[in-house]
Chains A and B, each alone.
Chain A
Amino acid sequence: MDHLDAEAHTRGRSRYVDDEPRPAGLLQAAVVPSPVAHGEIRSLDLTAVRDYAGVVAVLTAEDIPGSNQIGSVLPDEPLLSTGEVHYIGQPIALVVAEDFHAARHAVARARLDIDERPVVVDPKEAFERGHLIADPQSVHMGDVDAAWAQCDVVVEGEATISGQEHVYLETQRARALPEENGAIRVLSSTQSPYVGQRTIAGILGVPLHQIEVDVRRLGGGFGGKEDQATPWACFAALAAHHTGRPVEIVLSRAEDLLMTGKRHAYRSDYKIGVTRDGRILALDVRHFQNSGAACDLSLAVLGRTLFHTTNSYFIPNVRVWGAPCRTNIPPATAFRGFGGPQGMFAVESALTHAAEALGIDREELQRRNLLRSSDSFPYGQNAATVRIRRCWEELDEGFDLEATRQQVEEWNDRHPAVKKGYAVMPVTFGISFTATFLNQASALLHVYTDGSVSLSTGGVEMGQGLFSNLAVVASRALGIEPTRVRVESTNTRRIANMSASAASSTTLLNGNATLRAATPLRERLLTHAGERLGSDPSLLTIENEQLLCDGEPTGWDWPKLVKSAYLHRVSLSAHGFYATPEIHYDEARGRGHPFAYHVCGAALVEVTVDGLRGSYEIDRVRLVHDLGRPLNRRVDLGQVEGGLAQGLGWMTVEDLRYDETGRNLSAALATYKVPDVYLMPRDLEVRFIEEPDTEAGPYHAKAVGEPPLMYGLGVVFALRRALRAFGRDGQLPFVAPMTPEQVLLQLQGDDDPSRLVSKSLGTRVPVPAEAVSS
């Protein structure tokens, strides 16, 4: 089946928020951003802003009738500054004008006098100063301290990974439409309509039922429109509340890059111990998360980092600790992978360091320590659903890893100035929100008398093909054609209290809720048909729109069945509710069973590096991915390719940098490079393992949104192998992204490590210590 939006997209008929016809009197809003990263506002003069032609209202924190608070996890983030500013771009005032030119020109006329305070952009520095969002978290298993003595080789060092800008092509936007009795309808480009609704209601001091949030589709989200979409919806609603007129806010790309939160950068200290025969006995990692100026979703992101710091490996003695460090950059937020890749980067770096110290192939050390289904994760869940060994074997044999190794070595023997490298990146990713209560969903299904079907769920379509999946689930459950099913916009009046479309769980949750609506409705129809036909309902089925009795035609089709049920007063509507069973997690103890199952896969990444320039090509990526039974194979393949592109981009060309004053040095698409058509390798091969080995997903489908992004991490280690082939021995830092500049610096053996790391982190990063034999 096709992507449901395919034809509308190609005709330019798909509507995003500001494509909806403009209501009369629509106003446009813009915000006055903080020009400094930390300070106290001594004076704020908005006279010239108010006087600017076309300006209708200028609002500050004092104009918020409810609670000036948008933090969804911790109440540490005001919608509008109350006198302090903590990052460049933090909203200070809201300007509402007749058109967006007036709004933007007026914003520039704000006069601010700010008493500047010290700025911290480095997470370790923030930690040393005690600037934490919350207490550090940890998980552990075995006895790490006792294990070092049993290791033949122990190495330690630091892995440094930068943040990432989402660059959803549709910038943040919302439109608020006042309705009668103070109610407000908000069209929002958000992955989290309920959090938007709840936060707007809090800002305005009204019950949630006064606020309706409606989402038709997003022009990309990737996590960047989970909590980060909320303030813009609040601004539109606040302005509509004050002016009584419809108000729209659409960020320019420049505003979006400046003001919105990105993926978390991490600095992670690791220590790993291995035996001479290649068993990893102990891993100790301390993560310093750059959380930005407010909590946002940082604590949940950090939790997932801890869960995934052993990636696909069984390590008997593990201690993983992480601190959410408050810094003066925009609040870091969700981004596809949600902390998982940062955890994996730490263990892959540690493991690579250990392999180099042992003098064995990285792949050998990886392979020997892969999880078996009888193993357990440090957080207590067993690995029963982990298929990583199967994925590795399919990759090893299917793509002939040994042949790749030989080809690369032969090439490198013959070419002094251009070297090749390769790496395998295994991925084991847990599926579910780690906050157990979020794993719930509802669906509302109506069948109309002509047999057409309307389906509403809490899931948001952002290009990932969710609506296509939901149409497949509903139509399969009812035995009808998917084209009969219209998947409706995501709306808080039809579906209450929905969780964000995130955690790769949207199809799992909303697909199962759809099944729980469709299945009783079908049973009701069959019971009715049994009565009318004098048949045993248990013998009746609906297949290909035909009502069958014991497999034989009854002469009734779907429209006739529906019409008959209607005339006999049988309900043609159903509500379904789903809560993922058997998951739980005790954060205080760091133990539990947080995931419904795990998705696994392995990628083989190959690169060619030009030793004179530091430039490189990603030659080829071949991967094996554990898909379960796909609801829609091409949609899933699209997710794999797109996720891989984002991972490869993050690890190579997406160079997000802040200077020591907290200024984003990459706040334009001219300075922040996203993958173009040349970055993705032309040679890309994806093999799926399609087994019905999970009962969790609808029709044995597995989650596919986030896991493929992490295959991209492999490119860092492939580049490192190429650097080694140039004869770069000794110390090389583990840094991402490996921009061509970074590769060249490492190649040239630059002695000043401060030049070897992204300036985003502000301080020197020590290179890994030499291997220590114990």
Chain B
Amino acid sequence: MGQKIRVEVNGTSHDHEVEPRQLLVHYLRETLGLTGTNIGCETSLCGACTVLVDGRAVRSCTQLAVQADGSSITTIEGLGQNGRLHPLQEAFHEEHGLQCGFCTPGMIMASAGFLDDQPNPTEPEIREALKGNICRCTGYHNIVKAVRRAAEQMGGES
């Protein structure tokens, strides 16, 4: 009763037969072994499972794998290029925008989707973009700083 899907994940094309009820996050974690995407709440309230689908930040815990058929997906594992850290990854590291690390991939992917739309954000815009991502460890200050730093960095490169 599987359904065939073709997705491009982090630049690699995959053909799989998936159960229609399978969530995208389970497809990524279990079928593809991409365990960098974490599951925090299964109800799209914490943002830990955020990935990019065709460049848009989505909660992979409330999207079905079959809905992603034909899409291009980027997970935290595919954000850096050629082994180098993406400016967001570097900035979360540099600004200490992390502690236990469980929210970090989702936080970075949500920021990546946001910076794609808004490369020169104000601080209130950064906060608005991250309001759906929960971090229980840091108190958010360093996360906001990290996104701002990455935006500056990326603006400088383009």
A contact residues vs B (CB 8 Å cutoff) = 2-3, 5-16, 18-19, 21-22, 166-171, 217-222, 252-254, 462-465, 634-635, 637-638, 641-646, 668-670, 674-678, 680, 682, 684
Contacts and interface: CB of A to CB of B under 8 A. Distances in A.
Given A11-B80, A669-B41, A220 B131 contact: no
Given A220-B137, A677-B140, A680-B139, A12 B105 contact: yes
A704 B38 CA distance: 28
B151 interface: no
B124 to A, nearest CB: 9
Q: Which of B85, B99, B131, B140 has the most CB of A within 10 A?
A: B99
A254 B45 CA distance: 12
In the A-B complex, the 3 residue pairs with the closest CB atoms: A12-B36, A463-B100, A219-B102
Nearest to A101: B21
Contacts of A676: 131-132, 134, 140
Interface in B57-112: 75-77, 80, 85, 88-90, 92-93, 96, 98-105, 108
B102 A170 contact: yes
A588 B75 CA distance: 57
B131 A678 contact: yes
Interface of B: 30, 33-38, 40-43, 45-46, 48, 75-77, 80, 85, 88-90, 92-93, 96, 98-105, 108, 123, 127, 130-144
21 contacts: A2-B93, A6-B93, A6-B98, A7-B85, A10-B76, A10-B93, A10-B98, A11-B36, A169-B46, A253-B42, A638-B96, A638-B99, A643-B139, A645-B138, A645-B139, A669-B46, A675-B140, A676-B140, A677-B131, A677-B133, A678-B131
Given A219-B101, A253-B41, A678-B131, A641 B76 contact: no
B153 to A, nearest CB: 14
Nearest to B124: A682
**B contacts with A: majority SS:** loop
A6 B101 CA distance: 8
Nearest to A635: B96
Nearest to B34: A12
B141 to A, nearest CB: 6
A217 B127 contact: no
Contacts of A678: 127, 131
A462 B123 CA distance: 29
Nearest to A643: B139
A668 B44 CA distance: 11
B136 A674 contact: yes
A219 B43 CA distance: 18
B6 to A, nearest CB: 23
Contact of B38 (A3, A11, A170): A170
A219 B139 CA distance: 15
A22 B30 CA distance: 9
Contacts of A13: 36, 77
Given A166-B136, A642-B137, A680-B140, 19 more contacts: A6-B93, A6-B98, A10-B76, A10-B85, A11-B36, A167-B134, A168-B136, A169-B46, A171-B40, A217-B101, A219-B100, A220-B102, A220-B137, A463-B100, A463-B137, A634-B96, A642-B136, A645-B138, A680-B141
A488 B43 CA distance: 34
Contacts of A8: 101
Contact of B140 (A168, A465, A645): A645
A27 B70 CA distance: 32
